[in-house]
Structure 1
Amino acid sequence: MIVATLRGSRFPIETALLAALAFFLPLLEAPKNIVWLAWVLTWLFNRVRSRDFGARWDAWDSLILLWIVSPYIAAAFAGLHANEWRGSNDVLRYGLVLWLVKRGGYGEREVKLVLSALAIAVLVGLPGAYIRLADRGWLEMHSVGQVNHTAIYLDIILGMCVAWLLAEWRSLPRWARVVGIAVIAAFGASVIASKSRAAVGVAVIMLLLLALVWRKRSWRPLAVLGFSIVISLGATWAARLGVVTKHLHNVEVGDTLAYRDKYWSTGIAAWQRFPLFGVGMENYSVVTVDMVQSWREEAGKPFNPDLYWRGSHGHSLYLNTLTERGAFGFLVLMAVLCAWLASLIRGLPRAEEADLKWVLWGGAFSAWFVTVGAGLVNTSLHHEHAILSVMLLGLWLAYRTAR
């Protein structure tokens, strides 16, 4: 399949590098970065040589360009100076993935190769994640890292695979259906094993929404997924698995938010001090409680040190963006998320439309919903799961543009 796909590809090396990026994304740090750079350079070389940079410039191109440059603009006017220029490169990295995938012109077989690489990579990475779970108590994929980030990544992959299986169910042989169900079960169980309450909750709602959308084709997914979710959650509660005991403990000690309220208070104080452009990307960790105290005293406001904690990030996509990029960066982010949602609503597939459209819509929807939902209490759209999210968005936008 891989060799045949590459032989039929317009740019086989470029396609292979994109699939390699999808594969290494959650697994290995150095290969991921090397392949990203090689893919970008190869893409540019191929487009210059062919004099074909994709479709005509559209509103999405303008928005992506603004998204990429916005953290650098914020860095130029940042209230604090430490990591803001280096931190801005994260948006450049995943912004280019979105832009180049959108304009890549990849065919159906190439798209499925990339999607397969994304799913297989997680299957390869999960054994190591479970070893870390047994050793350290947290489920973490090597290159994704921190358990909440791993849980976000798993949520998105879970939604993508469910959409893929549902879209092609009727055309799949029995063995492929069994394999698909087993893979989805493994990903779902891993979300629960991550102990991330937000990831579990977001996954449940995401799957139910996918099933509701699929009612255009069949009501069976809603019944099957609904039943599976009830059984899974019931078993998780009855067995008092980690996500349950963690929640019960936090409630018992009066810390349902797991100290997030203190991180948020610090972020809000920093944003109030630098409201337009924030403190600069990756400078959340620079904000100390002493800084907060001096800012509040300057403003004539009361200060209670017990309400603030220093953290590496804001534990919320929205607050983290507001703190680091200010109102300017926050509005740009909201524009991207709203445009993303609008593309999903306008492009909602009809029952008779191609399976590939359903697959890509489901992947882009899963990435959007997890980003927005988990982003309430975690810093989503960040590093690996940001690249994953925009890769799925880019494939969806490219499909819509081509049609």
Structure 2
Amino acid sequence: MSTTGFSEKLELLLLGLLLFALPTMESPKTIALVLYLIVWAARRFSLAELRQYRPHAIEMSLMAILAASAASTAFNWPFPNGAKGFSDTLRYVLLFWCIYRAGYSTAQHRSLAYATTAGLVVGLGLATFELATGRRALFELHSAGILTQSAIYISVVFVLALGVFLTRWLPRGPEPVARTPLWPWALAMVAMLLALVVMGSRGAMLALALAVLFIVVCVNRARLWAALAVGAVLVAAAGFGMLKFSGAGNMPASIQTRFASERLLQSNLEHYENIRVALAQVRQTDSLWLGIGPRNYRSIDLSRLSFDPPLRLPGAEGKLNHAHNLFLTKLVEEGLFGLVAFLSLIGVVLYELFTALRGGRWYDWRWFGALGALTIPIVGGMVNTPFYQEHAMLAMALMAIYLGSRRLPGARAAFGQNLSQ
């Protein structure tokens, strides 16, 4: 094997390992990311080619996101989390940019989808073991954040798996479809749905339901409508059965706790009051433009803010993790600059998805993956978690895979040729 061929395979292997390890392994995914970036740069980077670089619209938005995070960090320095927020942003921006510019083939993209889905299936098995043995009180992925973040991660991968399944079950167009079994994808999606029911994250379930409904309307095939109806009945039955299950053990106890009416009322109160805190911080302080620093939400000083009626958040100082709305969190932490930069990314990706849909070039599993990667974190994040950590890296990777395929469909161009396009 030539040196070029080896480095190409090593690069893809490292990226696949990163996507596989995201939900379960902390150190391996960090090592894989660093090595992937090194190999990627070593294979492509040169000053001559860099001079020819003309950023595309999506890359302009990435630069704005990175600049906003850096400016907010510098302006508010020092603060407790220091550069953690900027480091998180840098990781997912670099990952997106590398995948977008890499020129990977359709077959290579497919291998990345396999690695992503397989990694989640392994993660679900580990999460089940940890909950059943009492190592965790809630059903969460080992290394993909808290329950709400884990639920968003699962929902994004579900839409990706659904895209692969649909484009093989209901193929369109003259292009040949890979003749691989569909049952592994079906079983994986069933496992993901059961996990979401156990988690009981309303934001993630609402986001997934809206995304799936939109996909079914777009595909508009009788068999798919029938499958959706059957699936909805089975999921509802599973959820109802879990609520009524009275057996002993950590699993049923976790499920009943998540769906208890007292917890739901408390959760609603925390959502509402945290949004009030975020709005007060923006209106009553001078942090509008650059915020208070990325990943620094918990440092909000409630004594400087006034609330009418009084804040109803017992132990509020310990509950200020985020605004329970990703846009408000972005506004508070990185200011108007950061929010506009993030909205520009959303706008560019939405434009690409809509353009493909309108032009009839959308029936591709990569389009489905990008749709889920964009809509699930946004809809789910409207009532909960910000665009952080593992689920943000996953979303950026899937959007980059799709946009990269749009830019260089089926091509394997050299880096210099890519930059000049």
TM norm structure 1: 0.87
Q: Counterpart in 1 of 2:270?
A: 259
Deviation at 1:344, TM superposition (A): 0.6
Looking at both structures, which has the greater relative contact order when contacts are Cα pairs under 8 Å and sequence separation is at least 6?
A: 2
Q: 1:350 to 1:223 in 2, by over 3 A?
A: farther
> Quick one: distance in 1 between partners of 2:257 and 2:233?
19
1:348-359 to structure 2, matched below 5 A, reads 348=357, 358-359=364-365
For 1:387 and 1:349, the matched residues in 2 are separated by 28
The answer to whether the Cα contact below 8 Å between 1:152 and 1:380 also exists between their aligned partners in 2 is no
102, 124, 127: which one aligns with 1:126: 124
Give 1:371 shift. 1.3
What is the aligned partner in structure 2 of residue 30 from structure 1? Answer: 27
- 1:185-224 deviations in Å (ceiling 9; x for gaps): 1111111111211112222221111111222xx3422321
> Which residues of 2 match residues 88-99 of structure 1 at below 5 A?
88-99=86-97
Match for residue 291 of structure 2 among 272, 278, 285: 278
User: Does residue 147 of the first structure (1) align with residue 157 of the second (2)?
Assistant: no
Q: How does 1:246-395 map to 2 (within 5 A)?
A: 246-247=258-259, 249-250=261-262, 254-255=265-266, 257=268, 259-272=270-283, 273=285, 274-287=287-300, 291-296=301-306, 304-307=310-313, 309-310=316-317, 311-348=320-357, 358-395=364-401
Take 2:303 and 2:47, find their aligned partners in 1: how far apart are those partners? 58
Question: What's the C-alpha RMSD, in Å, of the aligned pairs?
Answer: 2.8
Give the residue type in structure 2 aligned to 1:324. Answer: E
CA drift of 1:244 comes to 7.6
Partner of 1:201: 206
Deviation at residue 64 of structure 1 after TM alignment: 1.2
Structure 2 residue identity aligned to 1:103 = R
Distance in 1 (CA, whole Å) between partners of 2:380 and 2:257 is 20
Please give the alpha-carbon distance, in whole angstroms, between the structure 2 residues aligned to 1:254 and 1:208: 28
Deviations 1:140-173 (A, max 9, x none): 1111131111101000000100011101225465
Structure 1 runs of 4+ with >6 Å offset: 6-10, 49-55, 241-245
CA distance in 1, matches of 2:75, 2:4: 49
* More moved, 194-203 vs 36-45: 194-203
Number of residues paired by the alignment? 385
Q: Shift in Å at residue 322 of structure 1? A: 1.2
Whole-angstrom distance in 1 between the partners of 2:299 and 2:242:
41
**Percent of pairs with identical residues:** 23
Describe how 1:109-120 pairs up with structure 2 within 5 A: 109-120=107-118
**Post-superposition shift, 1:350?**
6.2
After superposition, where does 1:229-248 map in structure 2 within 5 Å?
229-237=232-240, 239-240=242-243, 246-247=258-259
When structure 1 is superposed on structure 2, of 130-139 and 30-39 the one drifting more is 130-139
5+ long unaligned stretches in structure 2: 172-176, 245-253, 410-421
TM-score (norm 2): 0.83
1:186 aligns with 2:199: no
Contact (CA 8 Å) 2:273, 2:311: kept in 1 or not? no
| 1:83 alignment partner, one of 75, 81, 92 | 81
Q: Residues 361-385 of structure 1, C-alpha deviation per residue, up to 9 Å, x if partnerless?
A: 0000011110110011122421000
What's the counterpart of residue 13 of structure 1? 10
Partner SS state of residue 290, structure 2: coil
Shift of 1:254: 4.1
Q: 1:254 to 1:14 in 2, by over 3 A?
A: closer
> What is the CA distance between 1:107 and its match in structure 2?
0.8
The DSSP-based 3-state class of the residue aligned with 2:24 is: coil
| TM-aligned CA distance change 1:145 to 1:86, over 3 Å | closer
The alpha-carbon distance between structure 1 residues 9 and 65, as it changes in their structure 2 partners (threshold 3 A), is: farther
- What's 2:247 paired with? none
